[in-house]
Structure 1
Amino acid sequence: MDLQQILKNPMTQQIILALVTKLLAGKLGGAANGAAPAAAGPGGIDLGGILGSVLGGGSGGSGGGIDLGKILGGVLGGSGGKGLVGQLDAAGLGNQLQSWIGTGANEPLDAQKLTDALGPDTVNEIAAETGATPEQVSDTLSQVVPALVDESSPNGQLDPAALQATLAKFLG
């Protein structure tokens, strides 16, 4: 399924933004990495502000600016398995991951396996923040995560610049 088509749904956007916020804050799977939690606005999350500063405020690591490649690489891959890919791989989803990263056909992602990988608490928190049910969160992310990883690995390996471009299109 085409990621840009998926991203047109406002609930899907909120769910993805909540997941990315958790990744940026190091809260995926309930394991904090010492980063401060993302700021929440009256409607839940302020991802526009967070990702706006990440995507728009970076200077690629020069001149003391934000090292966008390092940030997005951490969100996607993470050190110590705390990024999205590391969390999914640790949960036994390595074969699916390789299909999304590689240049062949993408294997589907089972919503329950995704819930197990992210942690039920994470899925429940995203549901509470977005007004979706936990099942909607799992189902949505089981469609989006493979497409997002696929688009972030155009040459058969994860590329933070490709993730940046995908998220920039998503944010408009």
Structure 2
Amino acid sequence: MKKFLEQFKRASTEKLEIANLIWSWIGSFLGIITISFIHYDLFKGTDLSLVIGSFGASAVLIYGAVHSPLAQPRNLIGGHILSAIVGVISFKLFSGNIWFCSAFAVATSILVMQLTLTLHPPGGATALIAVIGSEQIHNLGFLYVLVPVASGAFILFVIAIFVNNIPSHRHYPNDTKKIWFFRKE
């Protein structure tokens, strides 16, 4: 157990406390269930194909690693939206070569996120989903950027603001004195 705790301290930005574990679970549960319900209801109960897998990875960051620079609002929202745009453009340009298109979308989304200071690892998956997703995803075209990507990222963000600031020992975003969308370096 001692070895586990030492490894956890090295791998996590959060303290291993029951309260942190519970709040991370509550936040991620509320975030994903809200996205699922809204998208399910929006499309009249057909399926949850618009609940993209990269939201699960975002939930890990914004609810389980709230102090990580990669979990901050600018990264969460900007990273997803920019990556979705890159993914859709990549599919429109290179869909005839899906293997090339996949690599191009992910690599370009990383580059764009780095250049815009919005690096959010799940963004790479968001770009990839635009390329390898279902026909329903492909048919959305640039609407994919708004629904499910931007809407889902904003839902996760709003819930993170509320849930991560309920306990006195957790604060999100890291620096509330700065306007998160116009970060001053």
TM-score tier after normalising by the smaller chain length: 0.3 to 0.5
From the CA coordinates, give the structure whose radius of gyration is larger: 2
How does the TM-score come out when normalised to structure 2? 0.33
- Between Structure 1 and Structure 2, the one with more helix by share is 2
